[in-house]
Amino acid sequence: MTGPIEYVETQRVRLFTAETPLRLRSGRELAEVDVAYETYGELNEARDNAIFVCHALTGHAHAAGLHLGAKKRGWWDNIIGPGKPLDTDKYFVVAPNILGGCSGTTGPLSVNPATGEPYYMDFPLLHMSDLVQVHRALVAHLGIEKLYAGVGGSLGGMQILQWVIDQPDAMAKAVIVAASSRISTENIAFSSVARTAIMSDPEFYDGRYVEHDTVPRLGQKVARMMAHITYVSDVSLDDKFGHRRDSVGEEMQMEPDFAVEHYLQHQGEVFLDRFDALSYLYLTRLLDYFDPFAAPETAERLAATETTFQVTSFDSDWRFDTRQSMAMVEQLEAAGVAVDFAELHSTYGHDSFLLQPPGYHDRIAGFLNRA
- Which residue among the candidates 55, 60, 135, 350 is catalytic per the annotation? 350
Closest CA to 63 of 15, 108, 5: 5
The secondary structure of residue 20, as a DSSP letter, is: S
A 10 A CB-CB count for 207 gives 21
Residue 154 known to be catalytic: yes
Residue 350 known to be catalytic: yes
The verdict on whether residue 201 carries a ligand-binding annotation is no
Q: How far apart are CA 338 and CA 192, in angstroms?
A: 35
Strand ranges across the sheet with 147-153: 11-16, 33-40, 92-96, 50-54, 147-153, 171-177, 308-314, 339-344
317-337 burial, b if ≥16 CB within 10 A, otherwise e?
Answer: bbbbbbebbeebbebbeebeb
Residue 361 known to be catalytic: no
- Which residue among the candidates 130, 317, 321, 325 is catalytic per the annotation? 317
Q: Does the CA dihedral 198-201-207-213 come out positive or negative?
A: negative
- Which residue among the candidates 103, 154, 346, 352 is catalytic per the annotation? 154
The verdict on whether residue 245 carries a ligand-binding annotation is no
Instruction: Give Cβ neighbours of residue 240 (< 8 Å, ≥ 6 apart).
Output: 260, 263
40 with 52: CB under 8 angstroms? no
Active site residues: 154, 317, 350
Annotated binding-site residues read 224, 351
Residue set of the binding site for substrate: 224, 351
